[in-house]
Amino acid sequence: MQANSSRYRYCSRKLAHRAYLLQIFCLVIAPNRASELPDDQRIVITGVGLTAPNGNDWSSFREALLEKRSGVQPYEIRYFGKTLAGICDFDTNRYQKKKEVRRGTRAGSVGVYAANEAIQHSGIDWENTDRSRVGIYVGVTEHGNVETENEIYVIKGFDYDTSCWSHHHNPRTVANNPAGEIALNMGITGPHYTIGAACAAGNAGIIQGAQMLRLNECDLAIAGGTSESIHTFGIFASFNSQNALASHEDPSQASRPFDVQRNGIVVAEGGCLYVLERLSDAKARGAEIHGELVGYAMNTDATDFVLPNPERQSQCVHMALKKAGLEANQIDLVSTHATGTSSGDFQECKALRTVFGDCTNTRINNTKSYIGHAMGAAGSLELAGNLLSFRDGVVHPTINVDELDPDCAIPGLVLNEPEEGKNIDYVLNNSFGMLGINSVVIIGRV
């Protein structure tokens, strides 16, 4: 009897403990609207492939962010001269023959590398995957400037004789080039195209991939963004003429969003592509799931070519939260778009204050402070930089904030030192671009 009673007390304690854990679990993993959808409408991340100025795979990129390692370097480009840039050093010949690299574009090579890495990381049986059911959706800020500048430079040497203009120019500059090069390299025969969305493109690629999966237009999406922008002098010259190009005697300190001494953008190259799948498919093959797209939104300022509109930005964030069925305080981490320009950073902070100003839970950081602005890849790269916080519970800081601009002093900013021991269930990723294009994605821990 005594033994039974003791056993009963033991079982009761065990059950109570389980209930407590369940309660904690329910409190921690807050329900979202996506979780109410059937599994074939829920979109999850099962692979990540990337190259960033400070890392050529997901884990080394994360490591660089946690170690506060910058990828910004001195750089020189014809006509413009010396400047700074975020430069990638991935092995172009890892997945491409030399001939493919010569014939294609830098954006294509970045895309091919990231796509192959993502597929490998996903653990999918690629040899037996139906390539006609794979879609490629690559966000780009711009494409073709690099190749056009190169050709003009070449024919200048021939007194502008256009018969010396390369026959490779058209296939290199068609807007679908970076996605098409991935298709050629990997034998993918499903849909491929790029999404031109200025610097909101990385998020836009992810959103497009998710939508196509939900529409059953493909079974697997390779989605995200790429950029080759450091190879066009025009982007440096244009930002410089706009007084929006960063300079600093120490390259690693040049990209300094939210700091009073910020003086502009550090242009970067890079790419980050995700393998997206329907949850039902991911479960069926026993895939490791790295996050779920629980909400997203895109909208437009319709107010200015370059100046952002905080009202539309906050509206975009609210739309994404509504789609996710989440309250602002349930967002554990906001990955900001802030590029280090005086106006842009302030305007985004203004937008974020209206949404997250009263949130005690939400932390806010910025990844451009490490790598610069990777343009079409910025959204997807910065998201990848934060997604591993689901596992390690660390929020990497915005670096280079020696003196916080009072106009950017919003609650929850994580500055200069990482914040550890944080339970991260939801990451909200901002990505905005010229012509007033805004995009927000929310990824939940699974």
Which residues would be at the binding site for other proteins (CB under 8 A)? Answer: 97-99, 102-103, 154, 158, 163-164, 166-168
CA distances from 55 to 127, 128, 144, 270, 275 (A): 27, 30, 26, 10, 19
* Residue 77 DSSP label: E
Shortest spacing between CB 92 and other proteins, in angstroms = 12
Would strands 72-77 and 43-51 be described as parallel, antiparallel, or unpaired? Answer: unpaired
Contact (Cβ atoms closer than 8 angstroms) between residue 96 and residue 185: yes
Whether 39 and 279 have beta carbons less than 8 Å apart is answered as: yes
- What's the min distance (Å) between Cβ of 127 and other proteins? 23
Least distance to other proteins, CB of residue 105, Å? 14
Q: How far is the CB of 281 from other proteins (least distance, A)?
A: 36
Query: Judged by CB, which is closer to other proteins: 13, or 97?
Result: 97
Q: How far apart are CA 52 and CA 385, in angstroms?
A: 10
Shortest reach from residue 171's CB to other proteins, in Å: 8
Measured from the CB atom, the residue of 172 and 278 that comes closer to other proteins is 172
Neighbours of 194 (CB within 10 A): 27
Q: Hey, which residues does 196 pair with through a beta bridge?
A: 140
Cβ proximity to other proteins: between 101 and 237 the closer is 101
Nearer to other proteins, 82 or 98 (CB): 98
DSSP code of residue 133: G
Nearest distance in Å: CB 99, other proteins: 5
Q: Which is nearer to other proteins, 82 or 99 (CB)?
A: 99
Strand boundaries in 351-416, DSSP class E: 363-365
* CA–CA gap between residue 199 and residue 182 (Å, rounded): 21
Give the shortest CB-395-to-other proteins separation in angstroms.
Answer: 45
Minimum CB–partner distance for residue 132 and other proteins (Å): 24
Instruction: Judge whether 204 and 380 are in contact, CB under 8 Å.
Output: no
Decide if 308 contacts 432 (C-beta within 8 A): yes
CA dihedral 8, 12, 14, 18 (to 10 degrees): 150
Looking at 29-125, list the stretches that DSSP marks H as alpha helix, in order from N- to C-terminal side: 58-66, 98-103, 106-122
Contact 254, 84 (CB under 8 A): yes
CB nearer to other proteins: give 68 or 103. 103
Which is closer to other proteins, CB of 78 or CB of 99?
99
Identity of the amino acid at 9: R
Nearer to other proteins, 82 or 167 (CB): 167
